[in-house]
């Protein structure tokens, strides 16, 4: 999708609101799209209207013109058009030659910079969707690391480390998850240090990037296992958000850590009953090899804190329990610091990435007590699964503000969603939220 801020021409397809239509319906002529109804047309409704208008033209290409009067409308129209124009058919014949859709945005001159900003954010969000939708044979951890390195720029450095380095650093939890796969795991580290940023705050972004999750020896059910290519959506979100922040030149220091591996099974795979030692020295009894995300995050969180992150946010498709609780619309999140939580809440509201705060409480810790190690990586009880995972991660987040986002529901959806005209697959959830959160810490 291309965005132009200009006066629309007479040949453009124009979009408007029609009260005679039901929500989600579209009426199309050669020059006009009408989307309705207008009764509840808040920014989210306008974003959905723009998405459906773009979807109607996705197969044809061309230019669609909208008029915007304020910042909220500009955000909604740019974002919605990008959502509707996105095509998940990366591997379909003719994908490279698909027609281009242009958004002609008639808006006051002082909003043109905002339109350009949101177009940049959405371009990186689309890339996060592409990463989540790429099949596991096309995007093993080494390929994800190579993609991350393609974002390296003057103030953004990117490095990655493989199995031998991970083991040498004492990352026994991460190494255990990776032990059953022939694919080399990667710890991807991105550092964004723009000039003139005051000392004192370094935002740590941590992402789970399991490029395929079979469940390991605790094998998943075959139904919908193909969706487990999307278990790296958290890693994709923090990676692309970091690249967007660097491209926008936000004056904030970032340290981004992505733990990437497959979770597979062979004769070397970790097993239920194993005890592994994480980088912070704590031992973990394995009771379920399909609770692997918290293990790779444990070592990644510790690395981020020890490397200087003062405020940490991690993003992970972590628990089915969160999907059951909130469906595929909201993410659940947790925080150990109310000041950070206030920033998160404001960023979520501004960005449109819906998120709901869940409780942390030390009494939940007893669920993951182990008789044989410092803790275990799950509970035999089917209670508070998402909360227990957060309490587990808190043991590795170190001293300082930390937030955990369980994005299992909205990051990779299993059915089409009418809002934003979302296709099945990756949604890029978290990219907009992270950029807004970084903006709030920018000097």
Residue 62 gets the label, from left (phi > 0), alpha (psi -120 to 50) or beta, of left
Residues 241 and 179 in one domain: yes
Predicted confidence at residue 6, as pLDDT, reads 63
Residues 136 and 87 in one domain: no
- The token duo for 40 is 């509840």
Put simply, whether the predicted model's pTM sits higher than 0.75 gets the answer: yes
For the annotated catalytic residues, the residue numbers are 220, 294
Query: In this structure, is residue 122 part of a structural domain?
Result: no
Percent of the chain with pLDDT over 90: 87
In angstroms, how far is the first alpha carbon of the chain from the final one? 31
Query: In this structure, is residue 161 part of a structural domain?
Result: yes
The tally of domains found in the chain comes to 2
Query: In this structure, is residue 392 part of a structural domain?
Result: yes
Residues 71 and 197 in one domain: no
Predicted confidence at residue 19, as pLDDT, reads 42
**Contact (Cβ atoms closer than 8 angstroms) between residue 360 and residue 377:** no
- Residues contacting 391, CB < 8 A, separation 6+: 360, 361, 362, 364, 365, 367, 368
Domain C-terminal end among 79, 108, 137: 108
Percent of the chain with pLDDT over 70: 92
Domain C-terminal end among 55, 79, 108: 108
Predicted confidence at residue 231, as pLDDT, reads 98
Residues 156 and 59 in one domain: no
Residues 91 and 237 in one domain: no
Quote the domain boundaries for residue 52: 2-108
- 371 burial level (CB within 10 Å; 0-12, 13-18, 19+): exposed
Q: For 93-145, what is each residue's pLDDT tens digit?
A: 999 999 999 999 999 999 999 999 999 999 999 999 999 999 999 999 999 99
Nearest to 432 by CA among 123, 202, 103: 123
Q: For 146-181, what is each residue's pLDDT tens digit?
A: 999 999 999 999 999 999 999 999 999 999 999 999
Query: In this structure, is residue 118 part of a structural domain?
Result: no
Is 24 a residue whose pLDDT tops 90?
Answer: no
Residues 162 and 102 in one domain: no
Distance between CA atoms of residues 426 and 126, nearest Å: 9
Residue 420 gets the label, from left (phi > 0), alpha (psi -120 to 50) or beta, of left
**Contact (Cβ atoms closer than 8 angstroms) between residue 16 and residue 52:** no
Query: In this structure, is residue 68 part of a structural domain?
Result: yes
Query: In this structure, is residue 116 part of a structural domain?
Result: no
Q: For 339-390, what is each residue's pLDDT tens digit?
A: 999 999 999 999 999 999 999 999 999 999 999 999 999 999 989 999 999 9
Segment among 43-47, 75-79, 85-89 with least mean pLDDT = 43-47
Query: In this structure, is residue 23 part of a structural domain?
Result: yes
Residues 369 and 430 in one domain: yes
Average pLDDT in the 191-195 region? 97
Q: Using alpha carbons, list the distances in angstroms from residue 344 to 120, 306, 395, 440.
A: 21, 23, 21, 9
pLDDT tier, 9 (very low <50, low <70, confident <90, very high otherwise): low
Is 17 a residue whose pLDDT tops 60?
Answer: no
Q: For 423-443, what is each residue's pLDDT tens digit?
A: 999 999 999 999 999 999 997
Following CA atoms 119, 120, 123, 124 in sequence, which dihedral angle do they give, to the nearest 10 degrees? -140
Residues 326 and 363 in one domain: yes
Is 319 a residue whose pLDDT tops 80?
Answer: yes
Residues 151 and 185 in one domain: yes
Query: In this structure, is residue 222 part of a structural domain?
Result: yes
CATH assignment of the domain containing 412: 3.40.630.10
Domain C-terminal end among 48, 76, 108: 108
What is the edge-to-edge ordering of all strands in the sheet holding 283-285?
A: 275-277, 283-285, 375-376
Residues 144 and 87 in one domain: no
Q: For 212-229, what is each residue's pLDDT tens digit?
A: 999 999 999 999 999 999
CATH assignment of the domain containing 95: 3.40.220.10
Distance between CA atoms of residues 281 and 28, nearest Å: 62
Residues 263 and 184 in one domain: yes
Predicted confidence at residue 7, as pLDDT, reads 57
Backbone angles phi and psi of 416, in degrees to 5: -65, 145
Distance between CA atoms of residues 296 and 185, nearest Å: 11
Residues 93 and 187 in one domain: no
- The token duo for 329 is 């619309």
């Amino acid at each position: 999708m291309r965005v132009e801020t200009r006066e629309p021409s007479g040949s453009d397809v124009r979009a408007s609101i029609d009260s005679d239509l039901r929500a989600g319906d579209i009426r199309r002529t050669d020059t006009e799209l009408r989307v309705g109804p207008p009764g509840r047309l808040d920014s989210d409704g306008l974003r959905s209207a723009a998405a459906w208008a773009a979807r109607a033209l996705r197969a044809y290409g061309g230019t669609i013109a909208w008029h915007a009067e304020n910042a909220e409308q500009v955000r909604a129209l740019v974002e919605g058009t990008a959502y509707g124009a996105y095509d998940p058919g990366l591997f379909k014949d003719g994908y490279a030659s698909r027609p281009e859709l242009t958004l002609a945005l008639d808006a006051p001159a002082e909003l043109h910079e905002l339109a350009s900003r949101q177009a940049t954010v959405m371009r990186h969000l689309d890339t996060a969707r592409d990463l989540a939708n790429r099949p596991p044979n096309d995007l093993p951890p080494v390929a994800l690391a190579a993609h991350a390195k393609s974002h390296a720029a003057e103030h953004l450095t990117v490095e990655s480390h493989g199995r031998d380095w991970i083991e040498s650093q004492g990352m026994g939890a991460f190494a255990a998850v990776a032990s059953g796969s022939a694919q080399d795991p990667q710890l991807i580290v991105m550092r964004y240090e723009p000039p003139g940023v005051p000392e004192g705050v370094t935002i740590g972004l941590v992402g789970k990037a399991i490029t395929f999750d079979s469940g390991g020896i605790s094998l998943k059910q075959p139904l919908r296992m193909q969706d487990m290519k999307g278990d790296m959506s958290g890693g994709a979100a923090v990676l692309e958000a970091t690249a967007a922040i660097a491209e926008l030149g936000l004056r904030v220091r970032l340290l981004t850590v992505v733990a990437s591996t497959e979770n597979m099974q062979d004769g070397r795979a970790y097993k239920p009953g194993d005890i592994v030692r994480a980088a912070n020295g704590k031992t973990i009894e394995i009771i379920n090899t399909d609770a692997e995300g918290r293990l790779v995050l444990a070592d990644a969180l510790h690395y981020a804190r020890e490397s200087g992150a003062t405020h940490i946010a991690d993003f992970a498709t972590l628990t089915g329990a969160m999907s059951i609780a909130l469906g595929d619309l909201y993410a659940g999140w947790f925080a150990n610091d109310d000041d950070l939580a206030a920033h998160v809440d404001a960023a979520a509201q501004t960005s449109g990435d819906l998120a709901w705060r869940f409780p942390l409480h030390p009494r939940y810790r007893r669920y993951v007590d182990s008789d044989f190690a410092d803790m275990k990586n799950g509970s035999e009880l089917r209670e508070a699964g998402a909360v227990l995972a957060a309490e587990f991660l808190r043991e590795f987040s170190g001293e300082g503000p930390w937030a955990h986002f369980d994005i299992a529901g909205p990051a990779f959806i299993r059915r089409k969603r009418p809002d934003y005209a979302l296709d099945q697959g990756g949604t890029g959830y978290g990219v907009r939220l992270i950029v807004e959160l970084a903006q709030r810490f920018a000097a």
